[in-house]
Amino acid sequence: MKKPAKRTGGAAKTRRQTPANDATKATASPEANGGAADAAGSEITEEASTVQAGAEAAPAGEASGGAAPDPTSPEEQAAELRDRLLRAMAETENVRRRAEREREEARKYAVTDLARDLVGIVDNLHRAIDAAPAPSDEGDGVLKSLLEGVEMTQRELLAILERHDIRAINPIGEKFNPNYHQAMFEVPETGQAPGTIVEVTQIGYAIADRLLRPAAVGVAAASREGDGPPTRIDTKV
């Protein structure tokens, strides 16, 4: 019988040769691997450069495509800016004038409510004077002094109202004006032209150019004689 040691030796020889072959392969592989690595690195570098160039070109393309360049010339831009400036100045002037007008109206008509209450007091003083009996020379001096005091109070109150641009409207003998007069009745056969105010039952008042209270009046009626129809009087305020 043969001993198995020889086979073991052959196997050992075979195993000893395998590392050598592996070393040879290992010695040859770095060069091959180095070349492959250089080629792969070059490809990656080129690809990165291409991506970077595309990324840099994209915003420029988006900017050029999103907002077109303004074709207007400097002269046209200057004309547009001038037009905007003129419009802004006109608007500012309108605001200033409106504020001045509102301030002036507030100054004129700030006492409207107070004046409307005061004219009622003037009416009562006027009624008291009209209702008082006429004093006689031999009558009571107290009544005469009282009547004079009431008349002085009325005159003073009217003077105060006039200082604040509040004027009385007593249109006796004037033509009826619906803007300032309120017709209460018609008076026939007065000998006056139709529409003439022949009686005032309540004095009216105006503050500046605004009506505070219309005057209550009676107007002359149109004559029923004649060819034409009677004249119609507008009694609306």
What is the per-residue pLDDT for 55? 47
**Homologous superfamily in CATH for domain 166-237:** Head domain of nucleotide exchange factor GrpE (2.30.22.10)
Other beta carbons within 10 Å of 22: 10
- Residue 29 CB partners (closer than 8 Å, separation 6+): none
Distance CA 214, CA 152 (A): 25
Higher pLDDT, 145 or 18: 145
Tens digit of each residue's pLDDT (9 = 90 or more) over 153-205: 999 999 999 988 899 999 998 999 999 999 999 988 888 888 899 999 999 99
Q: What's the pLDDT score for residue 87?
A: 94
Q: Which helix (H) or strand (E) holds 120?
A: helix 112-131
Task: Reduce the DSSP state of residue 38 to 3 states and report it.
Answer: helix
Domain boundaries, the chain: 75-109, 111-164, 166-237
Q: Beta-carbon neighbour count of residue 12 at 10 Å?
A: 10
What is the pLDDT at residue 108?
A: 83
pLDDT, one tens digit per residue, over 106-163 is: 888 888 888 888 999 999 998 888 888 876 666 567 888 888 899 999 999 999 999 8
Cα separation, 114 vs 161, in Å, equals: 10
For the whole prediction, is pTM greater than 0.75? no
CA–CA distance, 203 with 182 (Å, rounded to integer): 10
Instruction: Report how far Cα 11 is from the mean position of its chain's Cα atoms.
Output: 107
The one-character DSSP state at 236 is: -
Angle at CA of residue 207, ends 232 and 214, nearest 5°: 25
Number of C-beta neighbours around residue 171 at 10 A: 18
- The first and second tokens of residue 77, run together, are 């831009």
